[in-house]
Amino acid sequence: MRVSMDIELKDTPGQLLLALDPISELKGNLKSIVHHHEERTPRSAIPVQLVFEIEPANLEVLIGRLKENGIGVARVDEKRFTAHGAVLLIGHIVHTDIQDTIDTIDNTGFAEVVNISLSMPQIDMRSSASLKIDAVGKNELHEAISVLRQVAIKKDLLVIEPIEAEIS
Amino acid sequence: MRKVRASIIGFGSVGQGVAEVLLRKDEELKSLGIDLDVVAIADSKGAEVNVAGIDLKAALGRKREFGTVAIDDLTGEDVIKSVDHDIVIETTPTDIETGGIGLVNMVAAFEFGRHVVTSNKGPLALKYRELVEAAKEADRKLLFEATVGGAMPIINLVRDTLAGNEIISVEGILNGTCNYILTRMMEEHASYEQMLAESQELGIAETDPTYDVEGIDTACKLVILANSIFDQDATYQDVDVTGITKVTLESLSLAHDEGYVIKLIGEVKKDRLRVSPRLVPVSHPLAVGGTLNVASVCTDLAGTITVTGRGAGSIETASAILSDIISIYKD
């Protein structure tokens, strides 16, 4: 997921490295860094804004390591959902407990169904639905679709997924 | 000028297309130094053999008039074993259960030291490894561009033009019948059943459409791609297959609202062989309509290369066969 973070550095040499090393150690991918060297926070530290991609599970670890290194963490803003995908379902979608189907995605913690359009031509005929799924990253979107695929097998639903190029 | 003696085994739509193309391209072949004579043609009723070279025009006329070229009571296998020639053009129908006579013919061809160029998917989808070994043993070529995507170059594209690249995946539409049905459902706002009936009327779908609409044909092509491009030893059983019979008109409309079309996509990767209806963005190169075939080859150096073309038709398939024949003799 993408995280934007405001940190505070002491005005002594090597501080920036102490802030950036933990990100690379935890396989984070730095997207931007803005270093306001001429500014001072009320605590007379130098404010730095970072934007990086990191595995959600590693974010807490990272904050811990920054604090161990004496770096102040003033603000953390998770841009939670960076991956968006659409999936179609065909079958007896409502009668096989649509709420339960949606819950299997929502309960992952890394993906959510954010929109659903349903088309039910006639009673007893198969209905069709399009689901929009948001996820914290591409891998998580893949994982969410694969979770949905498993549920669909049990409920005899056909899942129509995007082509690979769309979600990688 | 190199003298080449060929047999055409199987004289249905593709076999006749090959004969027509050989007639039309005689000059071009000669300009490449290939003087090709067809010395035998076999169909299901018998064969014509003429070591001096068959008059292809007359053979095509006779086939049209009488439904067979048969003069001698010989099978294709008899021809391969008894008539002295260099290359077998194997165009018998695909049998995906056992490989059928196509398999017998190919094995016999290598046994008797003849090259094989084929459009027949069955033997390659079932016995790829054995056939490649037999060809190697006999020091002969086995070429099969016509088995996947008809006129659309894919196997030779990867083998020759993209040589040196690592192939990461191939994904595409490899069955024109399914593409036609899905395209028409959306155009006419009609059900799957209605558009299947239309394509059967037009001769685009077979009377028994199972092989196409259940994704079996696409799966066989994936197996051939997996084996030839990824050097796997895959069979039909390794493919995860879902056809198009459950695709509803409503799902096509919902997809359209989101900016997608639904296509039957075959996907080959090192660890996955899958045929399934998929969402393709309307502006994506894979979103081709009608009976067209298309394939995107994802490579490490060249990036993604997409080719599209006619996946079926006798002359189109014969075009792929002709290019294979030329590639054997041009060097």
Confidence bin at A2 (pLDDT 50/70/90):
confident
Rounded-to-integer distance, Cα B4 and Cα A26, Å: 65
The Cα-based distances of B312 to A13, B180, B291 in angstroms read: 70, 12, 8
Q: How far is A101 from chain B (nearest CA, A)?
A: 18
Identify which has the larger pLDDT, A43 or B155.
B155
How remote is the C-alpha of B185 from its chain's centroid?
Answer: 26
Q: Are A158 and B260 an interchain contact pair (Cβ–Cβ within 8 Å)?
A: no
Closest CA to B159 of B323, B313, B329, B286: B323
Residue from A84, A117, A126, A130 to probe the interface with B (highest B Cβ count within 10 Å): A130
Q: How far is A117 from chain B (nearest CA, A)?
A: 8
User: Which residue from B242, B250, B281 is facing A158, i.e. has the nearest CB?
Assistant: B242
Chain B residues near residue A126 by CB distance under 8 angstroms: 246, 248
Rounded-to-integer distance, Cα B101 and Cα B240, Å: 27
- Give percent of chain A above pLDDT 90: 49
Count of CB pairs separated by less than 8 Å, A with B:
74
pLDDT over threshold 80, residue A37: no
Closest CA to B105 of B81, B84, B128: B81
Q: How far is A161 from chain B (nearest CA, A)?
A: 5
In B, minimum Cα distance to A126 occurs at: B248
Mean pLDDT of A43-54: 87
Size of chain B, expressed as the number of residues it contains: 331
Binding-site residue set of B for NADPH: 121
pLDDT over threshold 80, residue A165: no
pLDDT at A13: 87
Give the residue extent of every domain in chain A.
2-79, 83-167
Q: Are A160 and B248 an interchain contact pair (Cβ–Cβ within 8 Å)?
A: no
The CATH H-level (homologous superfamily) assignment of domain B156-310 is Dihydrodipicolinate Reductase; domain 2 (3.30.360.10)
pLDDT at A79: 63
Six-digit token string for B194 = 């209605």
Q: Are B254 and A161 an interchain contact pair (Cβ–Cβ within 8 Å)?
A: no
Closest CA to A28 of A85, A70, A84, A76: A76
Q: How many CB atoms lie within 10 A of CB A153?
A: 11
Across chain B, which has 331 residues, the per-10-residue mean pLDDT values are: 96 96 96 96 97 96 96 96 98 90 97 97 94 97 94 91 94 96 96 95 90 96 94 92 96 96 96 96 96 96 94 90 94 65
User: Which residue from A90, A129, A162 is facing B278, i.e. has the nearest CB?
Assistant: A162
DSSP state of B300: S
Q: What is the CATH number of domain B2-150+314-329?
A: 3.40.50.720
Binding-site residue set of B for L-homoserine: 206
Chain B residues near residue A90 by CB distance under 8 angstroms: 246-248, 251
Q: How many CB atoms lie within 10 A of CB A45?
A: 18
Q: Are A88 and B280 an interchain contact pair (Cβ–Cβ within 8 Å)?
A: no
pLDDT over threshold 80, residue A60: yes
Q: What is the CATH number of domain A83-167?
A: 3.30.70.260
Q: Does A116 touch chain B (CB under 8 A)?
A: no
Rounded-to-integer distance, Cα B315 and Cα B75, Å: 25
pLDDT at A168: 64
Binding-site residue set of B: 10-15, 121, 206
Residue from B169, B178, B192, B246 to probe the interface with A (highest A Cβ count within 10 Å): B246
Q: Does A119 touch chain B (CB under 8 A)?
A: yes
pLDDT at A80: 67
pLDDT at A57: 87
pLDDT at B331: 65
Domain A2-79 and domain A83-167, same fold? Reply is yes
Name the residue with tokens 């994506």.
B284
Beta strands in chain B (DSSP E): 2-9, 34-43, 46-49, 87-90, 115-118, 142-143, 167-173, 240-241, 260-269, 272-281, 292-299, 304-310
Q: Does A166 touch chain B (CB under 8 A)?
A: yes
In B, minimum Cα distance to A91 occurs at: B246
Domain A2-79 is in which class?
Answer: alpha beta
Q: Please give the backbone phi and psi of residue B146, each rounded to the nearest 5 degrees, phi first.
A: -70, -15
Q: How far is A92 from chain B (nearest CA, A)?
A: 12
Rounded-to-integer distance, Cα B277 and Cα B20, Å: 36
